[in-house]
A and B are shown apart, each in its own frame.
Chain A
Amino acid sequence: MKVTPSRIRFLLCLSFFFHGALGLALWADDLWANPILPFLQEHCTECHGLEKPKAGLNLAAYGPDSPIRRERKQWKKVLRMLRRGKMPPKKAPQPPEVDRQKVERAIDEALAALNCDGVRDPGHVTLRRLNRTEYNNVVADLFGIDFKPARDFPSDDTGYGFDNIGDVLSLSPVLFDKYLAAAEGIADEVIGGTPAKGPSDLLTCLPKSEADWLPCARQILEPVARRAFRRPLRDGDMDELLRLVESVHADGASFERGIRLALQAILVSPNFLFHVVEIPVLGQADAIQPLSGFELAERISFFLWSRLPDDELAALAKAGKLADNEILEQQVRRMLKDDRASALADNFAAQWLQLRRLETITPDPVYYPAFDEDLRRDSRRETELFFSAVASDDLSVLTLLDADFSFINERLARHYGIPGIEGAHFRRVSFEDGRRGGILGHASILTLTSNPTRTSPVKRGKWILGQVLGMPPKPPPPNAGDLSEETEEVQAASLRERLEKHRADPVCASCHRIMDPIGFALENYDGVGAWRTRDGKFPINAAGTLPDGTFFDGPVDLKKVLLERKRDFVWCLSEKLLTYALGRGIEYFDDCALEDIVKAVEADDYRFSRLVIEVVRSVPFRMKRSQESSP
């Protein structure tokens, strides 16, 4: 990757990521103890120390364990700075060349401790329960009813930006209560529903005599339980369910009552509520194994559809065919074309791009009278449809940043100043003026990165750094002030002038001189994403210069600058997609998988399908390990 000076500054602005490390190789710790740590203490920590560390990089806070593997990204940058002679700065005393080389080699080796050629660690996804979306979808899949029983469940906590992370999804007593209540409601609906909806389809058999009860119950419950548990049934599963039916029989209640009870039991069973991945038995040599066919099918279908595998996928899982790369690829392509893949837009894209935040955004009606509930809804829809089009038409993922089309309806067309679009339905529209097309011209993104009463170039810059380039800036220091919103000050100077003043503080400047220019490039979009040429009495100036001298003016230029960093974008998108696909945070050893994914995407014209296929084929997605072991 070509590294420009500005990129280095970008990188220095990163927040640090702490990964839970598995046992580090001892020799990495040795290298750390000598020569790395003494070198840092002699040449680096005076500026990069505890007190106001330069560029927010504190190299003085480490213990005897090497942090290099778990903070791999950061140490790659440190190495780069050393190698290019950027650090220590020219003005400072320079280390002897021998020492410098020795330390460079040591860091390199410590980094290489992550060996992508050897046995790869697939990581471990903590047993995760269905989230609300998945619960609703699975119930709809099982019974063909669509009444969203998870509506009243407590909302799912998020981790790493997504609401399907096993470590974070807890199962509280309150939630369990809701599971019980939902199971009752669902069973009532399914057994006692109206004939028109055909819920009695479920009752494929009614006992004519005492002797019919159990065979009949088995016939009804077996297929339900199998689908609900997403795997073949074990002996015990069925026997115990039938015992429930029997107990009802003994009480003299009806057959339907028995089935109803068994259904409730299925719906609160851990085999239904959790995505179960069985762990290889400890102590075996092959503690790293592929997922079973059923586990893999489940992981794929919840990744792409947020719901159960369909018959075709389930049949292939049963036949053990998903181990075949070609079949796997065919299936992913098939599923991406399916309507159900809209779940990727609703659940993945809406969280990656933070669209869900639109629900709670409240533009001030005094400043933005045009904003209404239609706009809130339709602007989100535009971005989802746009993402879905990239997915289903298998376009380049770079299209997301730079496109000459989008999907709009009358309400959005009015907002964007585009004539001739009538009706509430969305249609594909091409643009020529460069104002729209690509997510950075979407009213959704532009609104959710604004304050209630004005645009926020800072928030927009931060959003692009975090969601597009994968380099979220560090949070502001505690005393950092926000801009005054008082009328006299707003009247006296443009937002740009006020922000420039704010940036005078060097602590703030290190990040703001990158965030702010990026955000200013979007100043022609107001706080709800409408095009403008003036902000109050001040004409819009959408020009900006990055610290390395890169100059751009307006959204078209900004897109060009971002496309020059397309590897950062693809890496960021891959990391987010892998996080979502697995339901766990990214660990340092996942860099091997990410590197493979990014390279494959680059080699295949950045096609969306390639990205998804490579995620599915990756070691962390396809493999599992016993938790206590690591390679």
Chain B
Amino acid sequence: MKEKTTRSRRTFLRGLGASVALPFLESIPMADAAVAPKPPRRVAFIYIPNGVQVPEWTPKRDGANYALSPILEPLKPYQRDFLVLTGLTHDKARANGDGGGDHARSCATYLTGVQPVKTGGADIRLGRSVDQVAADVIGRGNRLRSLELGCDNGNKPGPCDSGYSCAYTRNISWRSETTPMPKEINPRVVFERMFGSGYAHEDRAVQARRRNERRSILDYVLGQAHSLQGRVGIKDRQKLDEYFTAIREVERRLEVTETQSAFLHDGDITAPAAGLPESYRDHIRLLSDMMVLAFQSDVTRVSTFMYASAGSNRNYRFIGVPEGHHELSHHAGDLKKQAKIAKINRFHIEQFAYLLGRLQSIREGDGTLLDNCMIVYGSGISDGNKHNHEDLPILLAGRGGGTIDSGRHVRYPNETPLSNLYLSLLDRVGVSVESHGDSTGRLDGLNLRVPRV
């Protein structure tokens, strides 16, 4: 499907194609193919709210050469590049005695596999999300440890869902049990985080001086924070821990930048226009472009992207669905409402197809960028009307650097934890942990042969 793109986006893409110097790009002069660096593996996690219209989502047949379902139809050109994983469950998104709040729980649990502590604010506690666990290891050497993207920024007043804080409904990425990673919604700001804002043309010496100044600032505030630590309470010290973590992150990046600064300055990359795109479609696509660019240039190897926040009531008037998404999802069997939900689901899948297309269009090593990615797409709720958390709609795109045999529909026994998938993905990026969230083991069936991990 040909999409109308905004002028700003097109201009941006043209600028990009023309000029970025990219570490793993095929066209980069590699004097000796034998010593060319092996492309790294990247992971990304995409979140959609309110579940899906399950009968329209799940393909009827399993295995290879299955027929795509109506919602997944837009992925036709990439059918060989992703897996449909059916039957996975997030038990920790269920009430388990905590009462209402499935939307908040399903979002909090999505990448953590942990039941969030029910609170409107005090004692927020969840678990580390899989992307952050991965970033600990594979994000160390990159300019950005990880990249969090999303389209929704607006704060809903009040508890966001039945007594759960908005921290649970707006974030899927959690750096620690208590600290969510806020997402960036503005493509331009993402770009500036990746490449700096306007410093690219500065003299090396000027840049070095800037780095030294930053270091002395950090030294100063570290001293202040340490002295403050002794004068505040236990819970306050947890907040200060966030502060220390942030400082360490900046310090790490200062070092990475020194060693890795080459391509950041050589490229004459055109930044996307300031401000937010007017259309939701363009917004998703431009942020997807940023993810692609970040992976392509190895600015980061880990990313998350929330197409919308949990329980989003966004309207989709532009595709003929003027009602709010969440309102619609409580369809109580109304067929016309169900059709509209499927329409929204399909719209999101079209945007996912766009991302896959972009990743596939980039040559890397002897394959494509997509081949070296593992991108999970899905929701923590299965059916938005039932609010159930078994049989979740989950896709896994990319071949994980040859460790995944994509192009199939794999059906798992009921109640197989989604966290098992995450454990298997962590294996594939070289992060060796015994468990993640409520995992009970590795997830079989991602590859037909023994993977070359």
Complex interface residues of chain B between 271 and 300 (CB less than 8 A to chain A): none
Contacts A155-B153, A236-B223, A265-B217; A171 near B180 (Cβ below 8 A)? no
A432 within 8 A of B: no
Contacts A157-B165, A479-B332; A171 near B239 (Cβ below 8 A)? yes
Residues from chain A with a CB closer than 8 A to the CB of B228 are: 270-271, 274, 276
Pair A627/B167 contact, Cβ less than 8 Å: no
Pair B317/A481 contact, Cβ less than 8 Å: no
Residues from chain A with a CB closer than 8 A to the CB of B336 are: 484, 486
Find the A residue at minimum CB distance from B247. A176
Find the B residue at minimum CB distance from A253. B209
Pair A168/B239 contact, Cβ less than 8 Å: no
Contact of A163 among B155, B159, B161, B240 (CB under 8 A): B155
Contact of B184 among A16, A154, A237, A364 (CB under 8 A): A154
Pair A270/B243 contact, Cβ less than 8 Å: yes
B225 within 8 A of A: yes
Pair A244/B239 contact, Cβ less than 8 Å: no
Pair B120/A160 contact, Cβ less than 8 Å: yes
B54 within 8 A of A: no
Pair A168/B165 contact, Cβ less than 8 Å: yes
A486 to B217, CA, bound (A): 61
Complex interface residues of chain A between 136 and 165 (CB less than 8 A to chain B): 152, 154-161, 163, 165
A167 within 8 A of B: yes
A171 to B244, CA, bound (A): 10
B118 to chain A, nearest CB (A): 7
Contacts A127-B240, A176-B250; A158 near B332 (Cβ below 8 A)? no
Contact of B323 among A17, A177, A485 (CB under 8 A): A485
Contact of A482 among B171, B183, B216, B331 (CB under 8 A): B331
A360 within 8 A of B: yes
B339 to chain A, nearest CB (A): 11
Pair B235/A124 contact, Cβ less than 8 Å: yes
A541 within 8 A of B: no
Contacts A240-B223, A268-B221; A165 near B155 (Cβ below 8 A)? no
Pair B236/A126 contact, Cβ less than 8 Å: yes
Pair B162/A15 contact, Cβ less than 8 Å: yes
A586 to chain B, nearest CB (A): 10
A476 to B385, CA, bound (A): 12
1/0 contact string of A271-306 vs chain B (CB within 8 Å): 101101111000000000000000000000000000
B224 to chain A, nearest CB (A): 5
A128 to B233, CA, bound (A): 12
Contacts A271-B228, A279-B233, A475-B101; A482 near B182 (Cβ below 8 A)? no
Pair A18/B163 contact, Cβ less than 8 Å: yes
Pair B122/A126 contact, Cβ less than 8 Å: yes
Find the A residue at minimum CB distance from B245. A173
Pair A244/B220 contact, Cβ less than 8 Å: yes
Residues from chain B with a CB closer than 8 A to the CB of A174 are: 148, 181-182, 184, 193
A116 to B214, CA, bound (A): 51
Pair A279/B224 contact, Cβ less than 8 Å: no
From A177, A474, A476, name the one whose CB has the most chain B CB atoms within 10 angstroms: A177
A500 to B220, CA, bound (A): 65
Contacts A18-B163, A356-B157, A451-B324; A159 near B120 (Cβ below 8 A)? yes
Pair B327/A474 contact, Cβ less than 8 Å: no
B137 within 8 A of A: no
Pair B121/A180 contact, Cβ less than 8 Å: no
A478 within 8 A of B: yes
Pair B246/A124 contact, Cβ less than 8 Å: no
Contacts A161-B158, A351-B157; A154 near B179 (Cβ below 8 A)? no
Residues from chain A with a CB closer than 8 A to the CB of B330 are: 476, 480-482
Pair A354/B158 contact, Cβ less than 8 Å: yes
A271 to B183, CA, bound (A): 26
A18 to B322, CA, bound (A): 37
A261 within 8 A of B: yes
Residues from chain B with a CB closer than 8 A to the CB of A264 are: 213, 217
Pair B121/A159 contact, Cβ less than 8 Å: yes
A628 to B102, CA, bound (A): 34
Residues from chain A with a CB closer than 8 A to the CB of B217 are: 180, 183, 244, 261, 264-265, 268
B381 to chain A, nearest CB (A): 10
1/0 contact string of B166-197 vs chain A (CB within 8 Å): 11001100010011111110100100010001
Find the A residue at minimum CB distance from B175. A172
Pair A453/B322 contact, Cβ less than 8 Å: yes
B337 to chain A, nearest CB (A): 7
Complex interface residues of chain A between 453 and 505 (CB less than 8 A to chain B): 453, 466, 474-476, 478-482, 484-486
A439 to B123, CA, bound (A): 34
Pair A359/B332 contact, Cβ less than 8 Å: no
B150 to chain A, nearest CB (A): 10
B119 within 8 A of A: yes
A211 within 8 A of B: no
B242 within 8 A of A: yes
Pair B331/A170 contact, Cβ less than 8 Å: no
A482 to B214, CA, bound (A): 55
A247 to B215, CA, bound (A): 12
A20 within 8 A of B: yes
Residues from chain B with a CB closer than 8 A to the CB of A165 are: 121
Contacts A270-B221, A270-B243; A279 near B167 (Cβ below 8 A)? no
B322 to chain A, nearest CB (A): 5
Pair A158/B155 contact, Cβ less than 8 Å: yes
Residues from chain A with a CB closer than 8 A to the CB of B76 are: none
A588 to chain B, nearest CB (A): 12
Contact of B239 among A155, A156, A274, A485 (CB under 8 A): A274
Residues from chain B with a CB closer than 8 A to the CB of A354 are: 157-158
From B120, B170, B189, B317, name the one whose CB has the most chain A CB atoms within 10 angstroms: B120
Contacts A244-B216, A475-B100; A168 near B182 (Cβ below 8 A)? no
Contacts A154-B182, A175-B246; A18 near B155 (Cβ below 8 A)? no
A377 within 8 A of B: no
A160 to B163, CA, bound (A): 8
A241 within 8 A of B: yes
Pair B246/A478 contact, Cβ less than 8 Å: no
Find the A residue at minimum CB distance from B189. A152
A61 within 8 A of B: yes
Residues from chain B with a CB closer than 8 A to the CB of A181 are: 197
A555 within 8 A of B: no
Pair B324/A276 contact, Cβ less than 8 Å: no
Residues from chain B with a CB closer than 8 A to the CB of A248 are: 213
Residues from chain B with a CB closer than 8 A to the CB of A340 are: none
Residues from chain B with a CB closer than 8 A to the CB of A434 are: none
A237 to B220, CA, bound (A): 9
1/0 contact string of A308-336 vs chain B (CB within 8 Å): 00000000000000000000000000000
Find the B residue at minimum CB distance from A365. B317
Contacts A170-B167, A171-B242; A156 near B121 (Cβ below 8 A)? no
Complex interface residues of chain B between 325 and 374 (CB less than 8 A to chain A): 327-328, 330-334, 336-337
A357 within 8 A of B: yes
Residues from chain B with a CB closer than 8 A to the CB of A270 are: 221, 224-225, 228, 240, 243
Pair A152/B122 contact, Cβ less than 8 Å: no
A269 within 8 A of B: yes
Residues from chain A with a CB closer than 8 A to the CB of B386 are: 478-479
Contacts A124-B235, A157-B165; A271 near B224 (Cβ below 8 A)? yes
Residues from chain A with a CB closer than 8 A to the CB of B161 are: 475
List of 6 A-B pairs having minimum Cβ-Cβ separation, nearest first: A481-B332, A159-B121, A627-B233, A176-B246, A154-B182, A127-B236
Excluding A173-B246, A174-B184, 5 further A-B contacts by CB distance (< 8 Å) are: A177-B250, A180-B217, A474-B100, A480-B332, A486-B334
Q: List 10 A-B contacts (CB under 8 A).
A: A20-B123, A158-B166, A160-B121, A167-B235, A170-B167, A170-B178, A270-B225, A274-B239, A486-B336, A585-B120
| A contacts, CB < 8 Å to B | 15-18, 20, 61, 124, 126-129, 152, 154-161, 163, 165-168, 170-177, 180-181, 183, 236-237, 240-241, 243-244, 247-248, 251, 253, 261, 264-265, 268-271, 273-274, 276-279, 351, 354, 356-357, 359-360, 362, 364, 366, 451-453, 466, 474-476, 478-482, 484-486, 584-585, 626-628
